[in-house]
Structure 1
Amino acid sequence: MQPIFDYLFSQYSDYPTLFIILEIIAVIFGFLSVWYSKQNNILVYPTGIVSTMIFVYLLWQWELLGDMMINAYYFSMSIYGWYVWTRKVDDDHFTPITSTTRKEKILSVVIFTGTLLFVFGIYEWFDKWNNWTAYVDTITTAIFFVGMWLMARKKIENWIYWIIGDIISVPLYFYKGLTLTSLQYLLFTIIAIYGYLAWKKNLRNDLRPA
């Protein structure tokens, strides 16, 4: 058991205690945020804001620019999403779960492509193409940017992007030495699958005639 524990967590031996505590807190709030998203609960945003604020600080310290930008974007989109989710479409109903329109599908492609180009430019500017993970970062960043935008707009397709990005992130973060964050993304993958199924059921119920 000890060799397994050492293999998974040995990289933390050189980390400041504060960083370890902050990562644990960020992981817990990140888990809560995804869980509340699955439940279609507005608490997805305040819990997500706490998690992303901490990760922005930690990832800046670790010089993981792509990951830091993802979380900075999460923070801003959480504020936008909080507004959309609490906005009433009429006197009795809040913004419902819906599928993407043709226009939103096109915008998703534009956001994905624009993010790829933007992150590429950032890595080029800071000369961060020193590891193969940088190339994967550009892809996961683009995936998560679209997923977060769709989630803020309560589009069921957001879960597809989360599932793909989370699956890629599990081995990626483990390779980077962030075992706790890697485990977080493993849990995110499982919750995202259940989230998609729960939202799909909710969407079907909303489409039924009264």
Structure 2
Amino acid sequence: MISYLEWSANAVFVISVILAARNNVNTWWTGIIGCGLFAVLFYQVNLYADVTLMVFFILTSIYGWMYWGAKKQLHPIQRTKMTNFVSFIAAAVLATLAYGWLLHEMTDAYAPFIDSIVLMFSVLAQFLLMKRRLETWVCWLIVDTVAVPLYFSRELYLTAFVYGLFWC
């Protein structure tokens, strides 16, 4: 059964993503609200890496809000050098393994390594988004591909559906 918390988190999150796609500065404060709601939801279903991710998103949303809001003109969208991007991916994989192991050893986390993929590739995607890099979308596709079955397995059907829509 879908809870009011899951409905609310997804509704606010969808608004934030639509605003981001339109380069609207309001994406950041709506994202903060959505992430706060998702942090509570993910804690309830033992997806602790996702809770960590939501805290990270709240902090980076504050930065993004200030960075985008302070500029009269946004920086243009750019590409990342392939060698840099490959290095970023390698770092995300190593961080995934380390955090997944930590969660596996120290918590009752559900699917700690899979959940850590969502965390680490979302972190990478967020940094690329804040710097207005085109490759952010590759990372978001990886996140959505892993997150949909993970959330479905935790009976977060609406969240899995929304992430599936983002993938499309």
Normalising by structure 1, report the TM-score. 0.70
Q: Which residue of structure 2 lines up, in the alignment, with residue 148 of structure 1?
A: 126
Identity among equivalent pairs (%): 28
Q: Among residues 95, 110, 133, which one is paired with 1:115 in the alignment?
A: 95
Separation in 1, partners of 2:114, 2:15: 26
Q: Among residues 105, 113, 117, which one is paired with 1:124 in the alignment?
A: 105
Matched, 1:105 2:85: yes
- Letter in structure 1 aligned against 2:104: Y
Matched, 1:182 2:163: no
Matched, 1:52 2:35: yes
* Structure 1 gap segments, 5+ residues each: 1-11, 191-210
Q: C-alpha offsets along residues 142-180 of structure 1, whole Å, 9 cap, x if unaligned?
A: 111101111112111111111121122122211111101
- Letter in structure 1 aligned against 2:152: F
SS of aligned partner of 1:165: helix
In structure 2, relative to structure 1, the CA distance for the partners of 1:46 and 1:107 (3 Å cut) is farther
Q: Aligned-pair RMSD on alpha carbons?
A: 2.3
- Letter in structure 2 aligned against 1:126: T
Q: Among residues 125, 141, 158, which one is paired with 2:136 in the alignment?
A: 158
Q: Does the aligned pair in 2 maintain the 1:108–1:146 contact within 8 Å?
A: yes
Q: Which residue of structure 2 lines up, in the alignment, with residue 78 of structure 1?
A: 61
Count residues in correspondence. 167
For the pair shown, the structure with the greater C-alpha radius of gyration is 1
* Structure 2 gap segments, 5+ residues each: none
Q: Does the aligned pair in 1 maintain the 2:39–2:55 contact within 8 Å?
A: yes
Separation in 2, partners of 1:142, 1:188: 18
Separation in 2, partners of 1:71, 1:123: 19
Normalising by structure 2, report the TM-score. 0.86
Separation in 1, partners of 2:90, 2:147: 22
